[in-house]
């Protein structure tokens, strides 16, 4: 295979070009050959016209051969110069490409260095802001603590990676013990200033959480302020007038928490865990239209005030085992789509399940009612019951047939709970 002219070395190119010596020797050789041929012809034929013409042709042929050699030399020289120009051009292009690549590498290194420096600076600023805000939460002065809360809120809103950390800090703050409300001199009619201030700080922390747990636009908050996939760890927390209505949280743990004042979780969706075991509600509570996508746990809860579960949907198991309802409780239009336990629950006032739906097992074993059966005749009015052999209903109530269905395409197997006749109720009371 012949080498590419652009890649041939100068030595090879020089060897391909006819040198002056070669041309000179070739000229001498052609002259001698022409003379050697012409001389015998002239000797034999003399100086006749034909002899002279033949000799002239030979001489012209020799001169033409010399001319061809010169033309070939010029062509080779031109080709060599062209190859040299191409080689120089290719060399310049390679030099330029190397220079451009080196410049690009330098620029990329400078850019990466600038990004790393900027990232380090941003992380350093975030760390400083976080540390300062957390330090403010430990201040003795309520305004300073409020400033720390709002600084953390801004940090969580602007820095996605710090959002759940900030939520955990807010929850940890709410889990801190709350000083008693009694004034220093022991007068229970007065509230201590420290308690009043701390209550406002806690309400502010709660409001920060609730504002950012509302999907879409609510109360002037733009949609981009919603923080999705948030877990609330408020076990054992003391919460004051909690307004967690129409929010959406991934999971919430309120086990052992104390709720002061009015608690409103109406319309809130709990995507995973919703746990309230051993919690205490000192005021009225509202869970109307809330949705528990997975298990809802209200075991051993103490409701000191009235509570409403009107229209609440329990998609999975709902457990109210051992719960004490000291005031009226409403489960009207609630939907228990899975099993529900009220075993050992205590109802000290009125309880209503009007138009509620029990789609699977319902356990009311060992339930205590302070009011008589006659006073509770409206407890299950209009409710929908899906018969189950494992269900346990309160005494004084029997299943009866009913027409219709609680929602379209839910089937025709539904029944209703109706009070027993007066005679049956008296007999059951005597037997008890």
CB-based contact 358:341 (threshold 8 Å)? no
| Whole-number Å distance between alpha carbons of 182 and 373 | 42
The 10 Å Cβ neighbour count of residue 357 is 21
DSSP code, position 178: P
Cβ proximity of 323 and 343 under 8 Å: no
Residue 277, CB half-sphere, CA atoms under 13 Å: how many? 10
Sheet holding 248-249, edge to edge: 248-249, 269-270, 291-292, 313-314, 335-336, 357-358, 384-385, 415-419, 397-401
Radius of gyration, alpha carbons of the chain: 50
- Per-position DSSP letters for 221-276, written without gaps between them: B-GGG---S-EEE-TT-EEES-B-TT-EESEEE-TT-EEES-EE-TT-EESS-EE-
Q: What is the pTM of this model?
A: 0.69
| Spatial distance between the Cα atoms of 68 and 86, rounded to a whole number of angstroms | 27
pLDDT digit string (tens) for the chain, length 432 residues:
444 444 444 444 444 555 666 666 767 666 666 666 666 665 665 555 665 666 667 666 666 666 766 777 777 777 777 888 888 888 888 888 887 787 777 777 767 766 655 555 567 888 888 889 889 998 999 999 999 999 999 999 998 888 999 999 999 999 999 877 654 444 555 677 888 899 999 999 999 999 999 997 444 555 588 999 999 999 999 999 999 999 999 999 999 999 999 999 999 999 999 999 999 999 999 999 999 999 999 999 999 999 999 999 999 999 999 999 999 999 999 999 999 999 999 999 999 999 999 999 999 999 999 988 888 888 999 999 998 889 999 988 999 988 888 988 888 789 999 988 643 443 344 343
Query: Contacts from 425-428 at CB under 8 Å and sequence distance 24+?
Result: 425/373, 425/374, 425/396, 428/395, 428/396
């Amino acid at each position: 295979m012949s080498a590419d002219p652009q890649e041939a070395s100068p030595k090879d190119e020089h060897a391909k070009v006819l040198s002056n010596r070669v041309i000179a020797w070739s000229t001498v050789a052609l002259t001698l050959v022409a003379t050697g041929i012409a001389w015998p012809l002239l000797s034999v034929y003399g100086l006749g016209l034909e002899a002279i013409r033949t000799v002239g042709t030979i001489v012209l042929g020799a001169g033409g051969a010399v001319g061809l050699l010169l033309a070939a030399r010029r062509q080779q020289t031109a080709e060599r110069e062209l190859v040299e120009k191409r080689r120089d051009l290719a060399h310049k292009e390679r030099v330029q490409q190397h220079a451009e690549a080196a410049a690009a590498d330098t620029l990329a290194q400078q850019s990466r260095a600038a990004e790393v420096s900027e990232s380090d600076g941003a992380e350093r600023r975030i760390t400083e802001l976080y540390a300062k805000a957390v330090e403010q939460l430990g201040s003795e002065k309520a305004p300073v603590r409020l400033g720390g809360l709002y600084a953390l809120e801004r940090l969580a809103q602007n820095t996605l990676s710090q959002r759940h950390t900030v939520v955990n800090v807010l929850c940890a703050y709410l889990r801190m013990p709350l000083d008693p409300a009694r004034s220093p001199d022991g007068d229970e009619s007065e509230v201590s200033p420290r308690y009043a201030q701390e209550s406002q700080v806690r309400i502010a922390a709660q409001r920060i959480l609730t504002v950012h747990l509302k999907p879409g636009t609510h109360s002037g908050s733009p949609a981009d302020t919603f923080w999705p996939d948030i877990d609330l760890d408020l076990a054992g927390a003391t919460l004051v007038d909690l307004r967690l209505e129409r929010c959406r949280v991934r999971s919430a743990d309120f086990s052992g928490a104390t709720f002061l004042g009015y608690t409103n979780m109406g319309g809130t969706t709990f995507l995973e865990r919703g746990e309230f075991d051993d919690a205490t509600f000192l005021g009225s509570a509202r869970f109307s239209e809330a949705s528990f996508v997975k298990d809802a746990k209200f075991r051993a809860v103490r409701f000191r005030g009235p509570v409403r579960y009107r229209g609440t949907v329990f998609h999975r198991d709902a457990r109210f085992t051992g719960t004490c309802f000291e005031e009226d409780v409403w489960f009207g239009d609630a939907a228990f789509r899975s099993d529900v336990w009220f075993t050992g629950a205590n109802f000290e006032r009125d309880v209503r399940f009007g138009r509620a739906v029990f789609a699977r097992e319902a356990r009311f074993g060992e339930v205590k009612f302070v009011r008589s059966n006659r006073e509770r005749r409206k407890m299950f009015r209009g409710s929908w019951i899906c018969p189950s052999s494992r269900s346990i209903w309160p005494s004084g109530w029997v299943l009866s047939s009913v027409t219709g269905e609680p929602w379209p395409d839910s089937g025709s197997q539904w029944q209703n709970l109706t009070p027993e006749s007066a005679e049956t109720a008296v007999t059951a009371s005597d037997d008890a």
